Amino acid sequence: MFDLSDVVGHVRDGMLPAHIYNDSEVFAAERETVFARSWVFLAHESEIPQAGDYVVRRVMENSFIVSRANDGTVHAMFNMCLHRGMQVCRAEQGNASHFRCPYHGWSYRNDGRIVGLPFHREAYGGEAGFNKRGQRLLPAPAMDTVNGLIFVSLDPDAPPLREFLGDFAFYLDYYTRQSPSGVEVLGPQRWRIKANWKIGAENFAGDMYHTPQTHASVVEIGLFREPKAEKRKDGTTYWATGGGGTTYKLPPGTLEERLRYVGYPDEMIDRMKQVWSAEQLDLIGRDGFMVSAASIVPNLSLVHNWPRVADSDDVLPFVSLRQWQPISENETEVLSWFLVDKEAPEDFKALSYKAYLMCFGSSGMFEQDDVENWVSLTATAGGTMAQRLLLNGRMGLLPDGSTIVPPLGRDRWAGPGESRVGYGEYNQRHLMNRWADFIEAGPLRPAGVSVGAPG
Ligand code: FES
Ligand code: FE
């Protein structure tokens, strides 16, 4: 129907073929390239604190059991029975020493090792006929963690996770490393939207431009301490290798004053100062920028916001993590977690959770505004006319390729990567350029097949 290399060419030029937001061929290519080669988030370690705890999560159709084995080690195992392929775990989460396949009853330890087959002797000739030793559920080809976030890659030759995240790890710490004992998560809430997965990832990466329009009512009711802040142009978009995001410019003050301004109590500020580097502290204290929404390639986003508490001048910060899990070219499952410093006071945790629900829970005010746009544009992108349209994703670029706003120098921006003050689709273009890199790299061809995995 169309040439993917043309699509890539347009994307690199900042022009987006409209059909990529609802096209089964593009979606099939994404499955074998973007999602087969990336590091994809599965779970947070605090979701499985005890031996035997597990959650079941997906990388597209690939179901994985993420479990903590009896020895405390974390495993991500392909949730497909070695016998005839049934999912051995059908629950979404729980605690189990073993998983028994519901089809014929093969059973596996919570580290994936096979331990029992019904009628082993009669049906298979016992150990001589079927040696259980060394056979286990297929492990994820690659697994690694950062700040308790568990990622897997379907590519056994993927670069190390830290390399994949690159300089974005600097920014990830603001959301997921706020004290020596780290964060804990609550959730996920899950819901489905009839929208393409890329739209949310691009929006959270740096779409400051939509806020005054799409979220006008949220701004007008004074959900934020400074309603006009949403219309100021001094937010920054930043891009580092693994992701990109936006910041807000805080009023003048010291590091402590600025963190208090967004609602953090002093004891939490003290812990932040223990774990963040001098450069990370400088971004807030010296430069006055506070991270807000961000996306990590391909489908993980983060939010850090500080809405006003009803009928008061107080604000409450919250941090949320969300994943755009593709179901099809025009449907996405959203998984949304609440994150909080494990050592935060209980009353702070409770109020911060409410602030998160109010803004970005499944019925949150921002959530409702955003999704209406994304569903509508996805539906239209599936039609014939959309195949003729190149969408304009060039905000901030002039025709000769130069940019309207120069990058901030190190004297004004303590973080790595590129950053610019003002409106511009810099982050979205970088995100889609990474998308194009994966499409161009072509499908991942798994080398060889496994009968169980060597134990
Ligand atoms: Fe699992 Fe047969 S498919 S025991
Ligand atoms: Fe929004």
Tell me: the pLDDT tens digits for 200-211?
999 999 998 998
Measured from the Cβ of residue 72, the count of other Cβ atoms closer than 10 Å reads 8
Identify whether residues 207 and 268 lie together within a single domain.
yes
Euclidean distance between the first and the last CA atom of the chain, given in angstroms as a whole number: 45
- For residue 337 and ligand 1, the question of a CB distance below 6 A is answered with no
Q: Is the pLDDT of residue 454 over 70?
A: no
Average pLDDT for 22-46? 97
Identify whether residues 58 and 122 lie together within a single domain.
yes
Identify whether residues 83 and 118 lie together within a single domain.
yes
Higher pLDDT, 410 or 274: 274
Q: Is the pLDDT of residue 380 over 90?
A: yes
Identify whether residues 418 and 348 lie together within a single domain.
yes
State the distance from the centre of ligand 2 to the C-alpha of 211, rounded, in angstroms.
6
The reply to whether 5 falls in a domain is no
Task: Please give the DSSP secondary-structure letter assigned to residue 146.
Answer: E
Average pLDDT for 243-247? 92
In the β-sheet with 62-68, what is the strand arrangement from edge to edge? Answer: 74-78, 62-68, 53-59, 93-95
Identify whether residues 264 and 321 lie together within a single domain.
yes
| Contact present, 321 and 336 (Cβ < 8 Å) | yes
Supply the ipTM of this predicted assembly: 0.98
Distance CA 66, CA 93 (A): 9
Identify whether residues 208 and 336 lie together within a single domain.
yes
Identify whether residues 244 and 372 lie together within a single domain.
yes
Average pLDDT for 36-54? 98
Task: Read off the CATH number of the domain in which 319 is found.
Answer: 3.90.380.10
Distances (CA, A) of 402 to 187, 393, 397, 405: 43, 15, 6, 9
- Look at ligand 1, atom 2, and give the residue with the nearest C-alpha: 104
| Res 427: pLDDT | 95
| Res 312: pLDDT | 72
Per-residue pLDDT tens over the stretch 61-101:
999 999 999 999 999 999 999 999 999 999 999 999 999 99
Distance CA 311, CA 288 (A): 27
- Look at ligand 1, atom 3, and give the residue with the nearest C-alpha: 84
Distance CA 334, CA 322 (A): 7
Identify whether residues 381 and 295 lie together within a single domain.
yes
The reply to whether 98 falls in a domain is yes
The reply to whether 86 falls in a domain is yes
Distances (CA, A) of 254 to 178, 246, 341, 369: 18, 21, 22, 35
Identify whether residues 78 and 223 lie together within a single domain.
no
CA 86 to ligand 1: nearest atom: 3
In a 10 Å sphere around its CB, with 0-12 CB exposed, 13-18 middle and 19+ buried, how is residue 294 labelled?
A: buried
What mean pLDDT, rounded, does the chain reach?
Answer: 93
188: preceding bond cis by omega (within 30 degrees): yes
The reply to whether 452 falls in a domain is no
Backbone angles phi, psi at 434, to 5 degrees: -65, -40
State the distance from the centre of ligand 1 to the C-alpha of 118, rounded, in angstroms.
10
Structural domain count, the chain: 2
The reply to whether 345 falls in a domain is yes
The reply to whether 153 falls in a domain is no
| Res 233: pLDDT | 53
Distance CA 97, CA 100 (A): 10
**Among 80, 84, 115, residue to substitute to test ligand 1 (most atoms within 8 Å of Cβ):** 84
Distance CA 107, CA 109 (A): 7
| Res 224: pLDDT | 67
Q: Is the pLDDT of residue 190 over 90?
A: yes
Identify whether residues 112 and 185 lie together within a single domain.
no
In a 10 Å sphere around its CB, with 0-12 CB exposed, 13-18 middle and 19+ buried, how is residue 208 labelled?
A: buried
**Element spanning 58, H or E:** strand 53-59
Task: Read off the CATH number of the domain in which 73 is found.
Answer: 2.102.10.10
Cα torsion 136, 142, 145, 149 to 10°: value is -80
Boundaries of domain holding 237: 166-441
